[in-house]
Amino acid sequence: MSVMVLAGSLIGRSYERSLQQELEGRAANALEQIAMRMDAVFEASKAVSYDGVVRNSYRLFQRDGDKAVLYRVVTDYLKQNFTRDERVPAAFITFWEEIDVQPYVASRGDFGYNSQREYRDTVEKDLLEKMKNIDTGILLLEYGGELYVARNLLDSHFLPYASVVLLCDRNVLFQSLEAVRQICQTVTLEIDDTLLLLENGTLSTQAQDPKSEEEYLFRSSVSGHSLLLTAKIPPFHFWQDVPEIRTAGLFVALLAIPLLFVVLLLFRRYVTKPMMVLEEASKKLQQGERGYVIPENAGSREFETLFDHFNRMSTELKNQFDRSFQEQQALQQARMKALQSQINPHFLNNTLEIINWEARLAENDRVSAMIEALSVLMDGALARDGRSRIPLREELRYTDAYLYIIRERLGTRFVVSREIDDSMTEVLVPRLVLQPLAENAVEHDLTGNHGGGLCLRVRQEEGDAVIEVEHEGHMTAEDRATVVAMLASPTADTELTGHVGLRNLRQRLNLLYGEKGELRLEQITEDRILAYVRFPISKEE
The pairing of strands 138-143 and 104-106 is unpaired
- pLDDT for res 285: 77
The beta strands (E) that lie in 179-214 are given as 186-191, 195-197, 203-204
pLDDT score, position 338: 43
pLDDT at 239: 56
pLDDT computed for residue 336 by the predictor: 45
pLDDT given at position 427: 92
Nearest CA to 50 among 42, 39, 38? 42
What does the alpha-carbon distance between residue 321 and residue 533 come to, in Å, rounded to a whole number?
47
Strand order in the sheet with 195-197: 203-204, 195-197, 186-191, 225-232, 215-222
What pLDDT was estimated at residue 531? 93
The burial class, CB within 10 Å (0-12 / 13-18 / 19+), for 291 is middle
Please tell me the distance from the alpha carbon of residue 51 to that of residue 279, in angstroms, as a whole number.
82
Q: Which residues are 460's β-sheet partners?
A: 465
pLDDT of residue 535: 94
**pLDDT averaged over consecutive 10-residue blocks of the chain (541 residues)?**
56 73 85 89 86 88 87 87 84 84 69 68 77 81 83 85 86 84 79 71 65 73 84 68 64 75 74 79 79 75 79 82 66 48 52 64 70 71 72 89 84 90 91 88 82 92 93 87 78 53 83 87 90 85 61
Taken in order of first residue, the domains within the chain and their CATH numbers are: 2-173 (3.30.450), 415-536 (3.30.565.10)
pTM: 0.43
